[in-house]
Amino acid sequence: MMQPWQPDFLESNPLFSDLKSLLANKAWTNWPDCNELNQLMDADVINQQGHQLTLVEQTDKLLSDGLYYEERIYLHAQVPTRPCSWHDFFNAMIYILFPKVKQEINRLHYQDIVSSGKIKRTKCRNALTLLDECGVVIAYCDDKQKEALTEQFWHQAFVANRSQWGDNIAGFIIGHANYEKALAPYIGFTAKALFVKVEPEFFSRDKFDQYRQLDTMVAQELETLMVDNRHLYPLPILGVPHWWPDNINPNFYDNVDYFRPKRIAK
């Protein structure tokens, strides 16, 4: 379905702050086509064979060969991209920010398709899809920060520790569906967090140096991490400090239907 372009989308939500920096010189008044988006891709945006990835318009003719999405990327370095689609536009942005992770996601998908077939979805493929669509990488220094989030102690993580966000803990959106949802955010908007421990000096680096470091770190460990979804944790994304204006009020976190306590195993 053709979706309307929103020229001011970068101003609509603080969740887009990193994309705003990435696209600072772009003033598209209409949908950018694949050629325009391909111009943003660096030489390191490659597939497993080392071929430069190219966004190609998804058409019936393109799909007529029967290749699965991940097969086309792995074998031909082509990323099918629907015109006028926010989902696919944001997918292109993630290729720019996390090229090594996207390459590894593709490799693991393809490997799984070869071994298990296209129809059967293994635990690995389900985990990869969750990360690819809904993931947020949480870079942190202190194990107590991770514990507060994984144990769903939301007030501790987001209110008591609010001053730490940006200084020694931060979130980096890797799931392109998160950006699509950010166009019309709603209470209940929940992502999947993947935690990466970093040294304190990480937070003194340039923002896109941080992305490059995380891209390398996550890609190196992804095969081990994505055996299943046990390393992905629920993250009420509108609660992340600086990502939603309403969360400056501590009472925002009193909504237990959104900021749910962790279930106690029976």
Q: Residue 46 has what pLDDT?
A: 97
Q: List, for residues 228-244, the tens digit of each pLDDT value.
A: 999 999 999 999 999 99
Q: Which residue has the tokens 């991770």?
A: 146
Distance (Å, rounded) from C-alpha 18 to C-alpha 172?
9
Confidence (pLDDT) at 69: 96
Task: Give the pLDDT of residue 266.
Answer: 57
SS3 content of the chain, % helix, strand, coil (to 5): 50, 15, 40
Which residue from 30, 26, 187 is spatially nearest to 93, judged by alpha carbons?
26
CA–CA distance from 260 to each of 130, 133, 162 (Å)? 20, 22, 18
Parts of the chain with a pLDDT under 50: none
Could you tell me the residue ranges of all domains in the chain? 30-118, 128-254
Q: What pLDDT, on a 0 to 100 scale, did the predictor assign at position 33?
A: 97
Q: What is the pLDDT of residue 265?
A: 61
User: Hunting for tokens 């966004």 — which residue is that?
Assistant: 55
Closest CA to 172 of 146, 196, 155, 153: 196
Predicted local distance difference test score (pLDDT) of residue 95: 98
How many other β-carbons are positioned within 10 Å of the β-carbon of residue 214?
24
pLDDT for res 91: 98
Angstrom distance (rounded) from CA 85 to CA 255: 33
User: pTM for this structure?
Assistant: 0.96
Q: What is the pLDDT of residues 132-178, one digit of tens each?
A: 999 999 999 999 999 999 999 999 999 999 999 999 999 999 999 99
Three-state secondary-structure class, residue 117: coil
